[in-house]
Chains A and B, each alone.
Chain A
Amino acid sequence: MFQYNFMQNAFMIAILISILCPLIGMFLVLKRYSMMGDTLSHASFAGVAAGLMVHMHPILSAFCLTSVFGILIEILRRHFKNYAELILVVILSLSVGIAITLISSGLVHANIDSFLFGSILTVTREDFYIVLFLSILSLFIISRLYHSLMFMIFDEEGAKISGINIKFINYIFAVLVAATISVSIRIVGILVISSLIALPIATALQLKKGFKMTLLFGVLFSFIDIISGITISYWINAAPGGVIAIMSVLVLAFVLFFQNHHFLGNIHLPNFKNMSKINCMIANERRDSDGKRKFRIQSIFKPAWHKKYQTTKFTFKTSQSEQRTINGRYSVSKSNPRR
């Protein structure tokens, strides 16, 4: 399939999107602004319609209008602090209103479906260069603001006291969200862009890692979602947006499934293949300063009939350093002698 130019363009854009979307998504999800992605994707719809009407490149027009609406959201949010959700609804309604009015009045003479659902066939080399420019610019700004954004989202008051210009960074961030959405609509489509911003990060959050690792896993999951989505959509001849959204949900479900088993088993599973056979745990036993017995679980293994099992309460640390206490059985084996 790589013999076609449009597929090469689509994959190159997809790789850029798979890096950019989770980077922005991480900050949006943790800021609890996931809905902002949805609102601005609708704003980009109005931008595309306006661009097609005045014969401007739709990605650039989408970027301009989405940035304006992004900054408008920040200004309104600052003035109406208690109505943040309502502001998103107002902007969303205004954007959809503009878009539908322009399209239905016959002022736009182009197929808008490719922007709504995403398209591989219509991706041009010009699109790629615009996406490349906006992506490099966005990545540069994010790398410069990375620590400030992280600090601001974790502890806004602390960041303000430490001299970070919260107001300025919020405006810059609104433009970054606008840029990310604008570069993604060609492939992913306006209707599902918000899922690509939120879902890979939602999946990565299940792994309970630090900020940087969660971000890297988010990029990995996003890459899997987009590349598999485009490949499948090529073979089944469907719009990539829909397939990418389905893949995102499937990857999230897959990770949740294994994470649940992780919680049930309460330790890191060394080998997924043996999971159905696991019903026993080995633990290192030690006594703490109060004389209480503590068990550090080492691994899960297939029980052997000749081992002696005991039921007891386990207090241990998981691979994520969480302390957990469970009732369970343990065995004493030669490799883990009881002290």
Chain B
Amino acid sequence: MIHIKNMYFSYEQSSYILKNLNFSIQDGSYISILGENGSGKSTFIKLLLNLLIPTSGHIENTFIRTAYVPQRFDSLNTQFPITIEEILTCYQKARHVSGKKIIDESLALVKMQDYKKSLIGTLSGGQCQKIFIARALMGNPDLLILDEPSNGVDIKSQNEIYQLIKNLNQEKKITVICVEHNLKAAIKNSTLLYHIAQGVGHICNPQDYIREYLIENTGVENYVSI
């Protein structure tokens, strides 16, 4: 599990981006992190991945194998001359994962075996996302962190990706933390939502989040659930 206590974070001399976060993530849960652009979602993820260190407070992480699926258009250079097999081999070597068939097996999980020799730049957004999920699954992770998996992906592929993530969460008991802009997917799949607004975060269940969202955007306080 991950236990965050009184965590503050700021970049150098600037004001706090995240303020007094207190939050626990239980094993086997599926949590979506929601918030406006610039609310601190990506910073929060970087803190969980140990890429940044909290200014104050602490994060206790008991997960052993954390895997990360980045945003497709965030860091990926589509002109990079690399095949899918090479991407997975790099990861395999870095994670010291053994097994000759591990690449084929992880590609089979996302039904992308036929693209093993393809260049990354020739794949669509959905296919790329599946490859990164396949890569993340290579080390049998117990925690999977995804940054906007539906970004730049068509509806059909989105459904496939979310179904895959949900299966991993429910069948393989992998804990999932997902930064989301896709409200529909977040509400449909998550067991819990974590809403970050102006650096302050709080846990809410999907129904509460919809209520908050409606109040904030339409001023409607009462809504009828269907």
Contacts and interface: CB of A to CB of B under 8 A. Distances in A.
B81 interface: yes
A150 interface: yes
B94 A159 contact: yes
Given A151-B91, A210-B119, A161 B66 contact: yes
B91 A162 contact: yes
A214 B70 contact: no
Counting chain A CB atoms within 10 Å of each CB, the highest count among B66, B82, B93, B118 belongs to B82
A153 B75 CA distance: 11
A323 interface: yes
Nearest to B139: A162
Contacts, number: 76
B15 interface: no
Interface string B113-155: 0000111001000000000000000000000000000000000
B86 A212 contact: yes
Given A30-B80, A205-B81, A210-B83, A154 B51 contact: no
Nearest to B50: A161
Given A147-B94, A321-B119, A154 B89 contact: no
Interface string B23-67: 000000000000000000000000001110000000000000010
> At the interface, is chain B mostly helix, strand, loop or mixed?
mixed
Given A150-B82, A209-B81, A320-B119, A157 B51 contact: yes
B51 A320 contact: no
Contacts of B122: 320-323
A261 B51 CA distance: 46
Given A147-B94, A161-B51, A321-B122, A154 B87 contact: yes
A155 interface: yes
Contact of B51 (A160, A164, A214): A160
Interface in A136-192: 147-148, 150-151, 153-164
A211 B75 contact: no
Given A157-B70, A210-B81, A163 B94 contact: yes
Interface of A: 30, 147-148, 150-151, 153-164, 205, 208-214, 320-323
Interface of B: 49-51, 66, 68, 70, 75-77, 80-83, 85-87, 89-91, 93-95, 117-119, 122
6 tightest Cβ-Cβ pairs between the two chains A and B: A151-B90, A210-B83, A162-B94, A147-B93, A214-B81, A211-B82
